[in-house]
Amino acid sequence: MNIEEKIKNCEIFLKQIKKYDPDPFYVNHFFNEFLDSVMNTYDDIFKEADRDFGLFIVGKITKKKFYEKAIMKNDENAIKFSEWFSQKFNQEHESPYPNFMKKICEFKSKSKKIPEIKIMIRASDRYKDDINQQIKVNLSNEKLRMKEELDIEIKRQLPIFLEIINHKRNEKNEPKVGQNQVIASAFLDIGDDIDIEIAYASEIYISVMKRLVDESRGKIKELTIWK
């Protein structure tokens, strides 16, 4: 399976996340698949680089193994590519949502799972400093039992949520949120006390990943054309 197929898989898994959002069971399943495809995509960048630089790495090719082999062979251009990629990768992950994806990939690599998913309510039309509010819903085998139970809990939490979010929006002269403009979504918190919406972060991240693939291929071509 090539890089394009792995990115296509990410797009398919994103559609499934959106379809089942905010059900923790299904979102957890398809988000894990999404993250695996992301990490495999980055490994495949170095698989293509290994082929073009001629390092002949044995076994599964990773960024770490690529750099170690480049150092061992004293391949200056391969070393340049590895260092360029690290710098570019860090630049692409400076903003909150890509940074979240980077951290959740690191968490999954170490723990072989992702943290527990939260169901939260948010305004359907986002503004920068909007709040999100966690809601507790009874689950059966980690799945939502009935949509009606979710709707009941949203309605129960709605008054205080609207009071807080509209107070903040009023201070900034932003549009008021109505009771029919609130939805539930699956969120994660990976330790920064910032809850990130899974579907939204995943959607944004596909563009980041595509850009890294395209620019990496361009850099590989630049460094190997006269090799």
Q: What is the pLDDT of residues 41-76, one digit of tens each?
A: 999 999 999 999 999 999 999 999 999 999 999 999
Q: What is residue 152's predicted lDDT score, i.e. its pLDDT?
A: 93
My answer on whether 207 and 136 are in the same domain is: no
My answer on whether 27 and 102 are in the same domain is: yes
Residue 148 forms part of a structural domain: yes
My answer on whether 167 and 143 are in the same domain is: yes
Residue 166 forms part of a structural domain: yes
Indicate whether 227 pLDDT > 70: no
My answer on whether 124 and 171 are in the same domain is: yes
Indicate whether 194 pLDDT > 90: no
Q: What is residue 95's predicted lDDT score, i.e. its pLDDT?
A: 93
Residue 194 forms part of a structural domain: no
Radius of gyration of the chain (CA): 21
Q: What is residue 41's predicted lDDT score, i.e. its pLDDT?
A: 97
My answer on whether 100 and 144 are in the same domain is: no
101 in Cβ contact with 85 (< 8 Å) = no
Q: What is residue 49's predicted lDDT score, i.e. its pLDDT?
A: 96
Domain interval for residue 161: 118-188
Q: What is residue 43's predicted lDDT score, i.e. its pLDDT?
A: 96
Indicate whether 210 pLDDT > 70: yes
Domain count, the chain: 2
Q: What is residue 226's predicted lDDT score, i.e. its pLDDT?
A: 65
My answer on whether 59 and 108 are in the same domain is: yes
String of DSSP letters for 102-150: HHHHHHHHHHSS-PPPEEEEEESS--TT---EE----EETTEE--HHHH
Mean pLDDT of the chain: 94
Pick the residue with more confidence: 138 or 173? 173
14-42 tens-digit pLDDT: 999 999 999 999 999 999 999 999 999 99
126-158 tens-digit pLDDT: 998 899 999 988 888 888 988 899 999 999 999
Q: What is the mean pLDDT of residues 188-199?
A: 85
My answer on whether 184 and 217 are in the same domain is: no
My answer on whether 88 and 166 are in the same domain is: no
- The C-alpha angle with vertex 213 and arms to 212 and 217, in degrees rounded to 5, equals 115
Residue 193 forms part of a structural domain: no
What residues have CB less than 8 Å from 198, skipping those under 6 apart?
A: 17, 21, 27, 31, 117, 185, 186, 187, 188
Indicate whether 1 pLDDT > 80: no
Q: What is residue 15's predicted lDDT score, i.e. its pLDDT?
A: 98
My answer on whether 127 and 166 are in the same domain is: yes
Q: What is the mean pLDDT of residues 109-114?
A: 92
For residue 32, give Cα distances in angstroms to 5, 78, 109, 210. Answer: 17, 31, 11, 19
200 in Cβ contact with 95 (< 8 Å) = no
Say how far residue 70 (Cα) sits from the centre of its chain: 29
My answer on whether 137 and 106 are in the same domain is: no
Indicate whether 193 pLDDT > 80: no
My answer on whether 203 and 106 are in the same domain is: yes
Listed residue (160, 161, 186, 221) closest to 26, CA to CA? 186
Indicate whether 191 pLDDT > 80: no
Per DSSP, which regions of the chain are E strands?
118-123, 133-134, 139-140, 143-144, 182-188, 196-197
Q: What is the mean pLDDT of residues 190-209?
A: 91
My answer on whether 17 and 90 are in the same domain is: yes
